[in-house]
Amino acid sequence: MRTRLEKWSLLLSAAAVFVLPTVSSAQLSTSDIDTRLGTESHVGNITGHAKDAKGDYRRYCVGCHGPLGDGNGENAPYMQPPMYQQPRDFQLGIFKCRSTPTGTLPTDQDLYDAITRGFDRSNMPQWNTLSKQQRADLVAWVKHFSPRWVGEKPGTPIPIPPEPEVTAERIKAGRDVFARMQCWKCHGVQGMANGPSASTLQDDLGRPIAAFNFTDGTRPKCGDTDQDIYRIFMTGLDGTPMPSFADNIKPDEAWDLVFYLRTFMSQKSKEKEMAKQLALKPVDPNAPAGQQ
């Protein structure tokens, strides 16, 4: 005959068996991810180790990106487009800001730069207060969430030719590229993100996404140097409607486009001054090809 103590023991054990799995169900795929804890990163002469970034990820990143790196942190429900952008899902291994061709994995340096620079117009701040080693470790940690890094290698960074001199002809040529590539469909004829397609844009996960507004004074997400802007439309922003134009425009034309886009931006620039002197008009969406 069972004692009262034994009965209670059985009852409590049964209760625990039912309760515990519901609590820990969200951790089921952790073991899969943990198999990649040996992931490394190489940034300059620093080697990052995923296992060393666990504490920093938990301290700084997990609130948005979630314990499984799937972008489902506790803050994700509060980050609704268009005011906010959803945290990146690291498990997909798809990244906007890369130096590598579209569809390929970014380099470790790309991820390191993203952590250091942060992303304007998003909740991702600059983490340049962390030591270089901490950031390299976090790069390895980000990589360890996605199985893509197991079988794939990062793409080869696209070459960026030296920046030519800005001329009025180049700015005008850039306007032609802007029209020919139909950039205005999303970004608008004056770069104000109000093109006819702007309201319909969605990312690869079907979430609304806004085109970049060149005129409101904010900085491009993947860097604001001329080289950064060149890189953005030659690599595309994977996971978003912004495609790569690497197969459609030549490097020289890409530079022309950079100069033309600078004329939209509110910051003072040589391009903006030249556009004013030229009395450059916005592209006409209805003009026949080549007759802007």
Partner 1 sequence: MQVSDRFRFRNILQLASSFAAVALVLASIVLTCSQPANALPAFARKYGLRCSACHESWPMLNYFGQKFKDNGYQLMNDRDAPIWQNPGYWPVVFRITPIWHRVSVGKVQVDTYTAGAPDGGQAIQRVSSSGFDLSGLDFHTGGTLEKNISFYLLPSSDPTGAFHFEQVFVRFDNIFHSSWFNFKLGRFELDNLLSEKRILTLTGNGGIYQTYHFIPQGDGNIFGQIGDNQLGIEYLGHSADDRTRISASLVSSSDGNVNLSTTANAYTGFFAASQAFDAGRLGVQRVGFYAMAGEASTYYLTEGGVPIGGSGIGNKSFSREGFVGQFYFGPHVGLTVVTQHGSDNAWFGQGYGNAEATDGNGGTTATCSSPAPGCPLNNVPGTPLPAGAQSPSWNGATFEGHYIYSPQLIFIGRYEVEKMSQQANGAACTACLQSSSGTFTASGATPSNFGNISTYTIGFRYNPFMTSRAGLAWHNEYNWLHQDGTGPANLTTGALTNINTSEILMGLDFDF
Q: Which residues bind partner 1 (CB under 8 A)?
A: 3, 5-6, 8-10, 12-13, 15-16, 19-20, 23-24, 52, 55-56, 58-60, 62-64, 74-75, 78-79, 83-84, 118-134, 218-219
Written as one letter, the residue type at 132 is: K
Rounded least distance, CB 117 to partner 1, Å: 10
Q: List the one residue out of 155, 149, 156, 116 whose CA is nearest residue 41.
A: 149
> Which is nearer to partner 1, 55 or 196 (by Cβ)?
55
Q: By CB neighbour count within 10 A (0-12 exposed, 13-18 middle, 19+ buried), where does 206 fall?
A: exposed
> Which is nearer to partner 1, 3 or 277 (by Cβ)?
3
> Which is nearer to partner 1, 84 or 197 (by Cβ)?
84
> Which is nearer to partner 1, 38 or 196 (by Cβ)?
38
Rounded least distance, CB 212 to partner 1, Å: 12
> Which is nearer to partner 1, 95 or 212 (by Cβ)?
212
CB neighbour list of residue 208: distance below 8 Å, 6 or more residues apart = 81, 82, 201, 202
SS3 29: coil
Rounded least distance, CB 116 to partner 1, Å: 9
Rounded least distance, CB 65 to partner 1, Å: 11
How crowded is the C-beta side of 78, counted as CA atoms within 13 Å? 7
Q: List the one residue out of 277, 253, 275, 252 whose CA is nearest residue 262.
A: 275
For residue 130, give the DSSP letter. Answer: S
How many C-beta neighbours within 10 Å does residue 220 have? 19
> Which is nearer to partner 1, 39 or 86 (by Cβ)?
86
Rounded least distance, CB 108 to partner 1, Å: 17
Rounded least distance, CB 169 to partner 1, Å: 32
Q: What are the percentages of helix, strand and coil residues in the chain, rounded to 5? A: 45, 5, 50
Written as one letter, the residue type at 149 is: W
> Which is nearer to partner 1, 122 or 248 (by Cβ)?
122
Backbone angles phi, psi at 184, to 5 degrees: -60, -20
> Which is nearer to partner 1, 13 or 286 (by Cβ)?
13
Which is it for the CA torsion 166, 167, 173, 174, positive or negative?
positive
Rounded least distance, CB 33 to partner 1, Å: 19
The enclosing H or E element of 11 equals helix 4-24
The Cα 288–Cα 228 span in angstroms is: 31
Rounded least distance, CB 189 to partner 1, Å: 24
